[in-house]
Structure 1
Amino acid sequence: MTLHENSKSTECSAHSAAVDKATVADASSADTSSNDNGNDNGIDLATIFEPYFRPDENTIVCGALDDEKVAALAAAGVELVINLQPDEELKFDESTAVEQAGMQYEHLPINGTADLKQLKILAFDNILRQHHGKKIAMHCGSGNRVGAAIALRAGWLRGRKMDTAMERGRSHGLTKLAEEVHNRLLVPR
C-alpha cells in the first residue's frame, strides 16, 4: 500500500534522537513513493515494529512498546498513543515516556475477553472520536486486542455488517480473538 506524501511538515521531538540513526538514515534514503513511510518523516516503521499493521495513513497498530519504539513513533509524527495493555503487562513507565516524547497518551486496559464489553468499546470509541484526524498508534501486546476492539466498534457502534466488522478488525491485528469477536457480534447490542 502506497501512502500519499504528507504536505505539512511535522516537527520531531527532542527524544527522536534515541531512534537508531542507521535505521533513520536507511529509511530516509529509501524511495518513499514505494514504501508506506512517506507520511512518517522518513522512518520505516515496518522495520522497527513486529507486529505492525497500517490500516490507513493515520493509524498504526503494533505490539508492546519500549523507549526506543516510543522515540520512533514520535520521530514519525505520531500525535497520540492508545495503550490497551493492563498495567501488569507494562514493562516500563509508558505514560511518562510517551508524554516526554511530545505525544498524548490514553490508557484503556483490555484484559482479554473479559473486557470485550460494550462499555469498554464505548470508551474506546470516545477516545478515537476525541482525537479524530490525528496520527495515532494503538497497541496491546500483539495488536489482537486492538483488532478486537475495532471490530466490535464497527459492528456494535457503527452498524457494520459482520463481514465488514471482522475485516476491519483483521486489518488492525485481530487474530486469536476472532472467534470470540464473531460470537459477540452475533448478539445485538
Structure 2
Amino acid sequence: MSDLIPNFKQPTADIATGGQPSLDQLARVSDYGFRSILNLRPATENAGLDEHAEVVRLGMKYHHLPVAMANDLTRSAAAELGRILGDKANLPILVHCGSGNRVGALFALRAAWIDGASTEDAINIGQQYGLTKMEDDVRRILTK
C-alpha cells in the first residue's frame, strides 16, 4: 500500500499511518481489510471530500481526533489515541493527517506519556509512525 497513501508507514501489522488518502485510496484501504480510519485533521483542513460518509459507506469505522498544531498534542489526545488503538474491534486501522507528521508526533507522545518510553525512545517510535518536522515540538512538550 506504500504506493497508495502519501508518506505511508506500517510499523505494525494492525496500524498504518500516512497523509490524506483520496476517495479511491480509501476504497483500497477497505479492500486491504482495514476496519477503521482515524483522521487527525481538523474540520478547518477540508480535504475536499466527506471522509466520514465515505468511510462508513465502505463499511469501516470512522474516528476523528483533531490535531491542528502542536498545542493540540495533549495528554488527553494521546490517551484518546491509546483508547482507539486499544479497542481490537478498530484494528487494523489507518491513522492519518495531512502528511503523517502529526500522526507521528501523537504516537511519540503516547509512547512517552502512556507507555512510559524515554524521550529518545518516544522520538524513535514517533519517527516510525511518521514524525518529521514536529520533532522539536515533541521534545519541547516532553520536557515541560
Write out aligned runs for 1:121-132 (5 A): 121-131=78-88
Contact 1:80/1:135 (8 A) holds in 2: yes
Structure 2 residue 27 is matched with structure 1 residue 76: no
Q: 1:138 to 1:179 in 2, by over 3 A?
A: same
Structure 2 residue 92 is matched with structure 1 residue 135: yes
The aligned residue for residue 139 of structure 2 is: 182
Structure 2 residue 51 is matched with structure 1 residue 94: yes
Give the CA deviation at 1:133: 7.3
The aligned residue for residue 152 of structure 1 is: 109
Work out which of the residue numbers 108, 118, 123 in structure 2 matches 1:161: 118
Structure 2 residue 20 is matched with structure 1 residue 64: yes
- Identical-pair percentage: 32
The alignment partner of 2:17 has SS state of: strand
Structure 2: gaps of 5 or more residues: none
Question: What residue identity is the alignment partner of 1:66?
Answer: S
Give the CA deviation at 1:140: 0.1
Structure 1: gaps of 5 or more residues: 1-44
Larger radius of gyration: 1
Superposition misfits of 4+ residues, deviation over 2 angstroms: 130-133
TM-score using structure 2 length: 0.94
Structure 2 residue 128 is matched with structure 1 residue 171: yes
The aligned residue for residue 51 of structure 1 is: 7
Contact 1:84/1:138 (8 A) holds in 2: yes
Distance in 1, Cα, partners of 2:26 & 2:12: 20
Larger RCO: 1 or 2 (CA < 8 Å, sep 6+): 2
The aligned residue for residue 113 of structure 1 is: 70
TM-score using structure 1 length: 0.72
Matched positions, count: 143
The alignment partner of 2:44 has SS state of: helix
RMSD between aligned residues: 1.3
Distance in 1, Cα, partners of 2:142 & 2:70: 13
